[in-house]
Structure 1
Amino acid sequence: MPSVKNPNGPSKNRLANRALGAKMERKKKSEANRHKIAKTDSMRGARPGLAPTSGPNAPLSKKKAKKLEKRIAHALRRKMAAEGEVAMKDVEGVEESKPEEIDMETGKIE
């Protein structure tokens, strides 16, 4: 009996195309792993030197950064107050003895 290929198997073209597709997928994955950028971020415009324009990893605007800084400072003040570390505004600090300095505006230089 002559050796005949199984007619129900995929053709050479289909096999070659499948191999090429797998090769391209591997290439994309290795490139993504090299830059460590999430797929969702890359969909939002992130590239190897650019942050995404939206989403949780997008850079904060200056306005939002200021608001966040205020919130964090306020939370720290609340935490310190809860622990009993209140900043004393009424008490004057103990002044250290310093040598007298000549005022630049009023001091005379000869």
Structure 2
Amino acid sequence: MPSVKTPNHRSKNRLAAQASKAKKIRQKRSEENKNKIAKTDAMRGARPGLMPNSGPNAPLSKKKAKKLEKKIAHAMRRKIEAGEDVDLTDAKAEEADGAEEKDVDEMETEQIE
């Protein structure tokens, strides 16, 4: 875009701005390649050692992390409660079987001695 004063070329300020912008973009691209940062994450502010500000790879806030931890704990509690009924009936049957097997093993060792 030629300036009004000199229609034949761009002003020094425009040229400098264009060059600095190109330099900035070039540096970002080379950083992404060196550190294997995804382009989408880099667009969201990710740098080496920094996570992106938004998107799926963004770190959870402390509040969301606590809520998520509570949800997971509650789900685990429900799973355990639902599974206890089944586990208890199986466990009693296994304990009874195990007791009989122990008696047989003890008898064999007593006979050997």
Q: TM-score, structure 1 length as denominator? A: 0.47
Q: TM-score, structure 2 length as denominator? A: 0.46
Q: Which has the higher helix share?
A: 2
